[in-house]
Amino acid sequence: MSTVEMKLQPSELPGTMAEMRIWLDQHRFEPAVFSCRGKGADVFVRVGFQAAEEARAFADRFTGRIGVGAAI
């Protein structure tokens, strides 16, 4: 599994989540894993994909970092 990790400000979360859902639907990508947690003043979002090319496309679109399936 390939994961994309992103760090957001709490105020960015609602808008970014809406953008992600629209983008995923348009590309017909279905994440295998989604997690979100706050740490200090930041929110960390992790989205996992079975296909590496889907993870790369998602990371490119949302300025994420490709991880290796580890929890954030």
> What is the pairing mode between strands 33-39 and 42-49?
antiparallel
When pLDDT is averaged across residues 33-42 and rounded to a whole number, the result is: 92
Tens digits of per-residue pLDDT, 56-70? 999 999 999 998 554
**pLDDT band with cut points at 50, 70 and 90 for residue 6:** very high
Taking a C-beta distance cutoff of 8 angstroms, is the pair 24, 30 a contact? yes
Q: How many residues does the chain have?
A: 72
Angle (nearest 5°) at CA 44 between 41 and 49: 170
Residue 66: phi and psi, rounded to 5, are -75, 130
Superfamily classification of domain 2-67:
VC0802-like (3.30.2130.10)
When pLDDT is averaged across residues 2-31 and rounded to a whole number, the result is: 96
Q: Please tell me the pTM assigned to this model.
A: 0.87
